[in-house]
């Protein structure tokens, strides 16, 4: 199998704010996604945070968000859906390397991995989209709406209309992208409040 790019142990050896969790390998769409998984005791929901390795500063931002969600009792999985080859192409300016439909399938695979975790079995799952991850997140919401209960986007792809959320999405929200560190903190708090309100324990067969 191929593996995702650059989410190395070095990246997450010292998580921002002391996030408790574990490195995981997530099989999805015939490749292994490298990720960081954290689940606080008594979690009330879970959120997938795609972290594209072509985005400068994404790991720290994703871990900061995950730490905030954890403090609100929400489990998180940070994954990089890009292969090393795709990441290199994106950094070289070849945007077509990140096919939204292909990345969406990998994100749905990550959702499936979360559902199989015993501690998450009765929890609803949300997904967070930021920067280059926005379009794959929208595609994932349309591809597996029965498994994604809530979506939060930061900003919005200019070429996509409101239909990008898909008919099956129950709860979605779009907010402006933060411009400074204080705004990043406000975003994390808003995300925690949003997912706390929209994710509820739900039995799965």
| pLDDT tens digits for range 78-134 | 998 887 777 777 676 666 667 788 889 999 999 999 999 999 988 999 999 876 677
Going by the DSSP 8-state scheme, the letter that residue 94 receives in this structure is -
Strands 172-175 and 150-154: parallel
pTM: 0.79
Residue 31, beta-bridge partner list: 2, 28
Give pLDDT tens digits for 149-199: 888 888 655 444 443 344 444 567 666 665 565 577 888 888 899 899 888
Helices (H), the chain: 58-71, 84-91, 100-116, 134-143, 181-198
Task: Please check whether residue 91 is in contact with residue 112, taking contact to mean a CB–CB distance below 8 angstroms.
Answer: no
Task: Please check whether residue 148 is in contact with residue 121, taking contact to mean a CB–CB distance below 8 angstroms.
Answer: no
Q: How confident is the model over 35-46, as a mean pLDDT?
A: 92
- Mean confidence (pLDDT) of the chain: 76
Residue 74 has pLDDT above 70, yes or no: yes
Residue 22, beta-bridge partner list: 37
Element of type H or E holding 34:
strand 31-38
CA distance 35 to 13: 12
Sequence spans of domains, the chain: 2-198
**CATH ID of 2-198, from 3.40.50.2300, 3.40.50.1820, 3.30.70.270, 3.30.300.10:** 3.40.50.1820
């Amino acid at each position: 199998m191929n593996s995702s790019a650059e989410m190395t142990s070095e990246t997450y050896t010292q998580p921002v704010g002391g996030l408790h969790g574990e490195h995981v390998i997530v099989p999805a769409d015939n490749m292994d996604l490298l990720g960081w998984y954290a689940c606080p005791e008594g979690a009330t929901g879970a959120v997938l945070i795609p972290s594209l390795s072509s985005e400068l500063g994404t790991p720290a931002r994703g871990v900061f968000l995950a730490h905030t969600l954890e403090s609100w009792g929400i489990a998180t999985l940070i994954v990089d859906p890009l292969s090393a080859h795709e990441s290199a192409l994106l950094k070289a300016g070849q945007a077509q390397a990140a096919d939204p439909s292909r990345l969406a399938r990998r994100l749905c695979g990550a959702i499936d991995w979360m559902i199989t975790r015993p501690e998450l079995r009765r929890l609803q799952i949300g997904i967070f989209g930021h920067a280059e991850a926005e379009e794959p997140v929208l595609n994932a919401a349309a591809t597996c709406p029965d498994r994604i209960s809530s979506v939060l986007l930061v900003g919005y792809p200019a070429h996509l209309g409101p239909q990008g959320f898909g008919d099956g999405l129950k709860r979605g929200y779009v907010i402006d992208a933060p411009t400074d560190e204080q705004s990043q903190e406000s975003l994390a708090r808003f995300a925690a409040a949003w997912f706390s309100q929209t994710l509820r324990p739900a039995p799965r067969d």
